[in-house]
Amino acid sequence: MTVPLSLGLVARRSGPLRGTVRVPGDKSVSHRAVMLGGLAIGETVVHGLLEGEDVLATAAAMAALGANVQPPDAPGGPWRLFGVGVGGLAEPARVLDLGNSGTSARLLAGLLATSPIFAVMTGDASLTRRPMRRVTEPLSRFGAEFLTRSGGRLPMAIKGSTLPVPIEYVLPVASAQVKSAVLLAGLNAPGETTVIERTPTRDHSERMLRQFGAEIRCVPAEDGGEAITLIGHPDLAGRTVHVPGDISSAAFPLVAAAIVPGSDVVLEGVGLNPRRTGLIDCLHEMGADLTLTPDATAEDEPLGTLRVRGGPLKAIDVPPERAPSMIDEYPVLMVAAAFAAGTTRMAGIGELRVKESDRIATMAAGLAACGVTVEVEADAMVIHGIGRPPSGGATVATALDHRIAMSFLVLGLAAEAPVAVDDAGPIATSFPGFTELMAGLGADLSARPAEPGAAS
Ligand code: S3P
């Protein structure tokens, strides 16, 4: 089944979801594999790369910066990269268009900050609204110059430093993107670049930098948290990377199976990096029938199999310190909370306001339209679950946000009346094949009927 996603999709109440599936590769790991493969000397072979629009934007940018990026010869085959060497990025002749992808923009800003070249980056209507000062502020300290639109937003011009100086930086927000931007900038700076994070965030950059041959030390920081130090000018060498399935994509079939009665779904090869598994902790606390079997043969990143069966859920309090380990999973957790019995409170989630959309506002509006009572605070959300399916019966605006689209489609699979999303196109940024995978499990997803009188 292939449906034109840009016209929107409708999810209807579905029978039990059943089957064994693999979700596409992890987006965070895929971005980093392309960037480091594009720098490392020799051949890098990437198996399981996410071929979503966001990662393809990173691949196109790395090619524009001089890396040799070779897509697979046949669908499903490995990507091959031959890198330019640390410090070897070439000046791009054209503007780098990073589409919807904040990770591409922020991590590439790090690489560009210590490359003695000029580059301009832009993005779509969502990305050009997102804050970049959180990276330009630390990256300027390496000696780079940035010109941005007002409010520190894209488009952004970057003049990389010709004589970079390493920095020590305490992260003011718990952000793996900012941490990674600083570490990537440190690659082409002499001496030691240190990032201190008070709350642990995903450590894919640290793991992968080490795998490619960089020296990284992680030690407890004096005032709490962790100090991560990278030694500049490493010889990065090409290698083989196996990208695990994306737990942030697995989250959608996982919650769908948890809320559709009688479901029994197995998700194989899912990345289970402990800094990404906050949703699993939440679902366990909610009483979901969820088992996890680690794969003992996993090497660079932990992975395993998840099995979930449908059943009743109860409300929980999600502690603020859990936020970094499930930052992209709050929208779909809010859907689970809408079906749970009782009041779920999620605190310390202000970062959701600066994702692909303001996810507190877009989720609150969509949930209210689907008959769920919610309360919104500056950095918290309260969801009053009634222990049975909400009414549904709404069309939700997805605001160029893939995870909003997928969350409401999941809600529609178990709501009383169908739920539509106005634009399912953004799903292709992170989860190509979402509709087909869900339909294969038994989900009733179809193209949204055109509005009466709408132009065709
Ligand atoms: C990501 C980090 C997170 C996450 C994003 C991917 C990464 O962003 O939301 O989808 O790959 O480093 P923040 O660092 O802004 O929290």
Which residues approach ligand 1 with their CB closer than 6 A? Answer: 28, 103, 175-177, 180, 202, 327-328, 351
How close is the Cα of 449 to the center of ligand 1, in Å?
A: 34
Q: What residues are paired with 168 via a beta bridge?
A: 194
For residue 7, is pLDDT > 80? Answer: no
Q: Atom 15 (ligand 1): residue with closest C-alpha?
A: 175
How close is the Cα of 156 to the center of ligand 1, in Å?
A: 20
Choosing from 35, 107, 135, 177 the residue with most ligand 1 atoms within 8 A of its CB, the one to mutate for a pocket test is 177
Burial class (CB in 10 A: 0-12, 13-18, 19+), 3: middle
Percent of the chain beyond pLDDT 70?
A: 97
How close is the Cα of 351 to the center of ligand 1, in Å?
A: 10
Task: Please tell me the predicted confidence (pLDDT) of residue 451.
Answer: 67
Task: Give the homologous superfamily in CATH for domain 5-25+244-447.
Answer: Enolpyruvate transferase domain (3.65.10.10)
The domain limits of the chain are 5-25+244-447, 27-230+237-242
Mean pLDDT in residue range 5-17: 91
Task: Please tell me the predicted confidence (pLDDT) of residue 298.
Answer: 79
Task: Report the nearest atom of ligand 1 relative to the CA of 351.
Answer: 16
Task: Report the nearest atom of ligand 1 relative to the CA of 205.
Answer: 12
Q: What is the pLDDT of residues 190-217, one digit of tens each?
A: 999 999 999 999 999 999 999 999 999 9
Mean pLDDT in residue range 446-453: 77
Q: Counting runs of H as helices and runs of E as strands, what totals does the chain give?
A: 12, 24
How close is the Cα of 101 to the center of ligand 1, in Å?
A: 10
Catalytic machinery residues? 328
Count how many Cα atoms sit within 13 Å of the Cα of residue 8 in the half-sphere of its side chain.
18
Percent of the chain beyond pLDDT 90?
A: 95
Model confidence at 455, pLDDT cuts 50, 70, 90, reads very low
For residue 385, is pLDDT > 90? Answer: yes
| Two domains, one topology: 5-25+244-447 and 27-230+237-242 | yes
Mean pLDDT in residue range 257-266: 98
Tokens found for residue 211 = 């795998």
Q: What is the DSSP string of 326-394?
A: GGGGHHHHHHHHHHSEEEEEEES-GGGGGSSS-HHHHHHHHHHHTT-EEEEETTEEEEEEESS---B--
Task: Please tell me the predicted confidence (pLDDT) of residue 296.
Answer: 87
Task: Give the homologous superfamily in CATH for domain 27-230+237-242.
Answer: Enolpyruvate transferase domain (3.65.10.10)
Mean pLDDT in residue range 393-402: 97
Q: Atom 16 (ligand 1): residue with closest C-alpha?
A: 175
pTM over 0.95: yes
Q: What is the pLDDT of residues 75-103, one digit of tens each?
A: 999 999 999 999 999 999 999 999 999 99
Give the H or E element holding residue 293.
strand 289-294
For residue 456, is pLDDT > 70? Answer: no
